[in-house]
Structure 1
């Protein structure tokens, strides 16, 4: 038997260190080639670290939340044959698991016995598998999200994929073959609880926290809200989907908003800009790279639709869909998550009436989309029902004057209320 040491890989672009976000294995586990061992976090992207060998985990080189240098020992695996470490030169870290004192645990729960038993997480449960309470089963982000939506504790589900990975089919089997827990005492829902949960801020959540704090401390935020009558553009969208949806794909409102941004920015180049506040330089860009804020299992990510100025409605729609899927599945690359010049953020049906989005530095503008509602409006002296939507946008007052911001949003409003002007050159 030999030892195969896996070191923290060079992610590229001059990155010297990364944060270890989560382990997918523990000491004593048997792993197979290409099985994901750990997730590490760069400035923006989550990266999977797969195993290049079959074998048994004999030591872990760090704890979740620890920042590790590129080239440091990540994990050691016992393998058949000689491995890649000579017996005489084997590092001490390979012989025993590392346990840095300062590194936080992934999750700490302090709990006392409740008055009554809580309701089980899932409404029904099928074939179960025994795992430790803190053991993280192998599963893709999409499967984890599906399990969360279904109220299933993933550690209870038997995985039938490679190396015991839990698949969507395993969740279906868990529900289909189980028995309903509908008879659980109603009183359990009213049980007193005194448990507490401490969750260290690590990985993507720590990056988001740092970026949001940095943005609010450095930029001089101000927001501008305007309501827009989107009845006409929604009618156009429905018409195009009916005529071309089957062959070109369905359009959401987002591609129209991207097009409106592109056209409006022609007259407001100072808004399609980045501000280097250390060098005191504003860079105005001809290319419009639109960041589209996207919620994922690991937090808010902003994949970038590059050169939106050169894309058709369907091209933008396809790229937005592709990037959103990659971000939600944790597969978006570093390049796909960087380089935006202006950001578009939307909560869809949950968009509320007004929001105050935080700038995505070093950009100087972010356009926030609120939900569409039908309201009575006065049009030419008559009360009619129109589809109305607010744009809640924020700007960096160090770069963008209030009048410029207002005129920019009014330009977007005019384009969306008369959607034919989106395509008039």
Structure 2
């Protein structure tokens, strides 16, 4: 037996610890070179760890959610003569039983944790063609008791999606997570403890850090976006086919860029330890993006140098990368002010949490057409609220109100967006 030990790699930027998010392989599974073994996370970037060799998994280090030291043992692979066989061949039961009987680790950092006998036998039963899927899809499959290797994949390069799981549940008769009670309400008897791991834990830590350090205050203003929406429709009708479709977001980005010229304190970061606020000339705008794994904030860099169509294309690219789990660290850091939008989900007002260590965040609520009074007459107008939060240590209420009123001015007279 020739055992190859794979250690937690140094992902870079001086990081000493990495969180193990999910295993992509099981004890006793045959793996091939370049097959993904595990997902690990640092900051908000998820990294896939591939296998450098062919072989059989002997032991797994750590459990999902565990923070492991760089250089600690991640996985052990037996590179015996059978490693060159088909990856779908069944692993030897004796080897699995031997590994399953190994003692548990005495400490979390880099020690090897063997799976239980039941899990080992499950690995034998489902000996494995490599399957790719997001952590959210894998978690849902586990909750449903479905082996991902049994689910026909429709995603790129054989990626299993939520839609694939839905189709499998529908056609196989696997019960969903909800149960029928014959039309009658029944008292719930089950409870489930769900540890926060991976991106969900990073989000929790970031939100807690923001609320602990920043004294928030939120300012809400109503905007008449009738002309704004009319202009957007006209731009799409004239140039949509050649330049791309514009949503509200790239035009709002343009309004923020212009408003920041008069209110530069809002385009800043505050260093708690040094007591220093750093203002930025460039507008690197964070775009809060919901993904299957949780909220991510990819960064639209140098928005001040882009026209609305360039903004739209880059926002779409960043959102797609974030939702596919392919956004790199550089695309998820360095923002100077953030936009968050719940407009598509409804709601009149929100109190957004600042993206620490920034000092301001602009929140967009839904557009409602309703009667308003204009020049003594009741007319139908498209109205929307801007809900924006500020760091009260460095942004006074009057300054914040001035910034939001500047945004409102550009949105209610959108021709000004294109006048320098």
Q: TM-score range by the shorter chain?
A: 0.7 to 0.9
Q: CA RMSD in A?
A: 3.5
**227, 230, 253: which one aligns with 2:222:** 227
Partner in structure 2 of residue 414 of structure 1 = 409
Which stretch of structure 1 is more off in the superposition, 165-174 or 61-70? Answer: 165-174
Cα 1:164/1:78, change in 2 over 3 Å = farther
1:344 and 1:364 map into 2 onto residues whose CA distance is: 12
Cα 1:164/1:354, change in 2 over 3 Å = closer
Partner in structure 2 of residue 280 of structure 1 = 275
Contact 1:158 1:164 in 2 (8 A): no
Residue 387 (structure 1) shift: 0.9
Partner in structure 1 of residue 300 of structure 2 = 305
Cα 1:175/1:95, change in 2 over 3 Å = closer
Cα 1:172/1:396, change in 2 over 3 Å = closer
Partner in structure 2 of residue 269 of structure 1 = 264
The answer to whether structure 1 residue 174 and structure 2 residue 157 are counterparts is: no
Contact 1:7 1:74 in 2 (8 A): yes
Q: Secondary structure at the match of 2:13?
A: coil
Q: Which TM-score applies when normalising by structure 1? A: 0.81
Cα 1:95/1:309, change in 2 over 3 Å = farther
Residue 165 (structure 1) shift: 6.2
Contact 2:135 2:293 in 1 (8 A): no
Which stretch of structure 1 is more off in the superposition, 22-31 or 294-303? Answer: 22-31
Structure 2, unmatched stretches of 5+, are 84-98, 110-121
Contact 1:140 1:329 in 2 (8 A): no
Partner in structure 2 of residue 158 of structure 1 = 150
Q: How does 1:36-115 map to 2 (within 5 A)?
A: 36-80=36-80, 96=102, 99=105
CA deviation vs aligned residue, 1:61-89 (integer Å, no higher than 9, x gap)? 11112111111111111124699xxxxxx
Residue 28 (structure 1) shift: 1.0
Contact 1:34 1:51 in 2 (8 A): yes
1:364 and 1:63 map into 2 onto residues whose CA distance is: 37
Which stretch of structure 1 is more off in the superposition, 154-163 or 67-76? Answer: 154-163
2:159 and 2:378 map into 1 onto residues whose CA distance is: 58
2:198 and 2:180 map into 1 onto residues whose CA distance is: 39
Which stretch of structure 1 is more off in the superposition, 297-306 or 39-48? Answer: 39-48
Partner in structure 1 of residue 319 of structure 2 = 324
Residue 181 (structure 1) shift: 8.9
The answer to whether structure 1 residue 396 and structure 2 residue 388 are counterparts is: no
2:106 and 2:45 map into 1 onto residues whose CA distance is: 25
The answer to whether structure 1 residue 296 and structure 2 residue 291 are counterparts is: yes
1:2 and 1:164 map into 2 onto residues whose CA distance is: 31
Q: Which TM-score applies when normalising by structure 2? A: 0.82
The answer to whether structure 1 residue 370 and structure 2 residue 365 are counterparts is: yes
1:22 and 1:143 map into 2 onto residues whose CA distance is: 10
Residue 5 (structure 1) shift: 1.6
Residue 141 (structure 1) shift: 2.6
Partner in structure 1 of residue 88 of structure 2 = none
Cα 1:170/1:292, change in 2 over 3 Å = closer
Cα 1:399/1:200, change in 2 over 3 Å = same
Q: Secondary structure at the match of 1:266?
A: helix
CA deviation vs aligned residue, 1:134-164 (integer Å, no higher than 9, x gap)? x9x934239939x89xx97653772456999
Q: Secondary structure at the match of 1:264?
A: helix
1:372 and 1:290 map into 2 onto residues whose CA distance is: 22
Contact 2:55 2:77 in 1 (8 A): yes
Q: Secondary structure at the match of 1:187?
A: coil
Q: How does 1:214-253 map to 2 (within 5 A)?
A: 214-253=209-248
Contact 1:56 1:77 in 2 (8 A): yes
Residue 43 (structure 1) shift: 1.7
Could you say which structure has the higher helix fraction? 2
Cα 1:164/1:296, change in 2 over 3 Å = closer
1:381 and 1:17 map into 2 onto residues whose CA distance is: 64
Residue 321 (structure 1) shift: 0.7
Residue 21 (structure 1) shift: 1.4
**331, 337, 341: which one aligns with 1:342:** 337
**301, 310, 313: which one aligns with 1:315:** 310
2:21 and 2:332 map into 1 onto residues whose CA distance is: 18
The answer to whether structure 1 residue 29 and structure 2 residue 29 are counterparts is: yes
Partner in structure 2 of residue 405 of structure 1 = 400
How many pairs align? 386
**376, 382, 393: which one aligns with 2:377:** 382
Cα 1:385/1:76, change in 2 over 3 Å = same
The answer to whether structure 1 residue 204 and structure 2 residue 199 are counterparts is: yes
2:56 and 2:157 map into 1 onto residues whose CA distance is: 12
